[in-house]
Amino acid sequence: MKLKKVLDDRRINTVYAVCRTKALREAARKMIAFNCSALMVTDCEDTPVKYVGIITHSDLVRAMSMENIDLGIVPVSDFMTRQMIVASEEDDVEYVMNVMVRHTVGHLPVIVGKQIGGIISKNDILQVLNVDREIAIQWMNDFSGVSAKNSVY
């Protein structure tokens, strides 16, 4: 299965962003407002928009756990990930999941054409894989004549 299916199955693929010079608190507020767990980080003055990193809820938790960090002052650039790993919508889902696990990242920007078409999380991938497996199990049950009551799932 291609990553395009994961993007297509999501209701919203808006790429939310925050300027690298904004305070961490601003990033946290945006994540809450947009109900997302990652934001692309922009270089504020560039037109067209230039992405310079990504910041996730894990980065914010790491910042909050440090002593003497004022979330209202410390800029996003101090905690963002600069060396981003990206995926293509044509990448295989299993491959992308393995890359995320190997590099211990929870979110990946997905390139569609020459732009970022969305940010996917491990949870997004797991949901799609789970639905596909449930469908396969149901199909096998229907084919074999096993009732759902006798099924493990």
**What pLDDT shows up at residue 123?**
87
Instruction: Decide if pLDDT at 132 tops 70.
Output: no
Q: Is 88 helix (H, G, I), strand (E, B) or coil?
A: strand
pLDDT of residue 113: 87
User: CA geometry: angle at 74 spanning 72 and 79, to 5°?
Assistant: 125
Helix then strand count (H, E) for the chain reads 5, 6
**Is residue 48 pLDDT above 90, yes or no?**
no
Burial class (CB in 10 A: 0-12, 13-18, 19+), 35: exposed
Domains, the chain, with CATH or none: 3-150 (3.10.580.10)
pLDDT classification of 124: cutoffs 50, 70, 90: confident
pLDDT confidence of 135, banded at 50, 70, 90? low
Confidence of residue 148 (pLDDT cuts 50, 70, 90): low
Half-sphere exposure of 43 (CA within 13 A, CB side): 7
